[in-house]
Amino acid sequence: MHTSVLLDEAIAYLNLKSDSKVVDMTLGYAGHSSIILKTINKGFLYAFDQDQEAIDYSNNKLGQIGSNYKIIKSNFVNIKAKLQEQKIDKVDAILFDLGVSSPQLDQGDRGFSFHQDAILDMRMDFDNPLTAKEIVNTYSYKQLATIFNNYGDEAYASSIARNIIDTRAVKEINTTLELVEIIKNSVPEKYKREKHPARKVFQALRIEVNHELEVFEQALNDSLELLNVNGRICVITFHSLEDKICKDIFKHHTEVALALKNIPIIPKEYEPKFKVIKTLEPSALEIEINPRARSAKLRVIERIKE
């Protein structure tokens, strides 16, 4: 089962009260949500997820704690519209946990895993028409190399992309292990010994399939607008590009405009509406217990004025 990363820290920094209105943008298997629900016995939890299996599991888990929650089956990019449907304009706390849940990674037939053979899929939402199979078989050499480089930081992006193009010219690439074999044939022996050579390419494909970076950027900006004064957003990232998006957005909203920085007294209307509360990483003990935590980072922001 999925182990939530930075669980205690995220809950603590959300600064929840018993009557808080909270949004869990990434319900998953309710690791964070179950503790949030126990904390806000007079409040309400709205939780987003696209994966019906995760929703069914979490609904059962949360239902044993209380009834003051609603699971919304939607991409979290739709937060504004979906909360408006619930007649909600402002909330007190919002949590993003951007890690892919362990059951999704471990479930062979979803196509996320480079250890198990399955059709190349990688969709979080089965209504999404784009699959990893389509990307691998239709994207140009330049598109593939760019994705592997930008989203995976893959040192051998070019040779992997070239071998994909050459292979699919003969036969369509359908499965995860077919792709793994192409990747293995594209990198040096030493590289294969260090870590699984397909790890970064599979990560890059997952990000592209689900438009993860664009969706996150829009959803985080929208979330800041929805916060009450003294409300907080906690963001747990596992990828340097996600973390950079979060860091840049937080910086934009917590710093005075460059043109005003040399003015001795900043007019109140130009003072930042938010402040950064904390940035932290998992402890050595948590990483030892849960190796998937090693790349995680938690950033926390608070609204300090309307």
Model pLDDT for residues 254-303, shown as the tens digit of each residue: 998 766 777 778 777 778 999 999 999 999 999 999 988 999 999 999 99
The residue count of the chain comes to 306
35-44, 48-57, 156-165, 175-184: least confident range: 48-57
Q: 3-state class of 241 per DSSP?
A: helix
C-alpha dist (Å) from residue 258 to 47, 71, 225? 37, 41, 22
Token pair in block for residue 204: 């890059």
* HSE, side-chain direction, 13 A CA sphere, residue 221: 9
Q: Are 184 and 164 in contact (CB under 8 A)?
A: no
The string of pLDDT tens digits covering residues 207-232 is: 999 999 999 999 999 999 999 999 99
Condensed to tens digits (0 to 9), the pLDDT of residues 118-130 reads: 999 999 888 889 9
Domain boundaries, the chain: 7-103+212-303, 129-209
Query: What is the chain's Cα-based Rg?
Result: 21
Query: If you count DSSP H runs as helices and E runs as strands, how many of each does the chain have, helices first?
Result: 14, 7
For tokens 């319900």, the residue is 27
Confidence band of 205 (pLDDT split at 50, 70, 90)? very high
Full-model pTM: 0.89
The pLDDT assigned to 124 comes to: 83
Residue 56: its H or E element? helix 52-63
Alpha carbon separation from 231 to 135, 144, 201, 227, 250 (Å, rounded) = 40, 41, 37, 5, 14
**Span 7-103+212-303: which CATH code?**
3.40.50.150
pLDDT of residue 269: 78
**Which percentage of the chain shows pLDDT scores above 90?**
81
Q: Which runs of E-coded beta strand occur in the chain?
A: 21-24, 44-49, 69-73, 91-97, 227-237, 274-280, 297-303
Q: What is the CATH number of domain 129-209?
A: 1.10.150.170
Q: Do domains 7-103+212-303 and 129-209 have the same CATH topology?
A: no
Collect all residues with Cβ–Cβ distance below 8 Å to 191 and sequence separation of at least 6. Answer: 155, 156, 197
Q: What is the pLDDT of residues 93-125, one digit of tens each?
A: 999 999 776 566 666 678 888 989 999 999 988
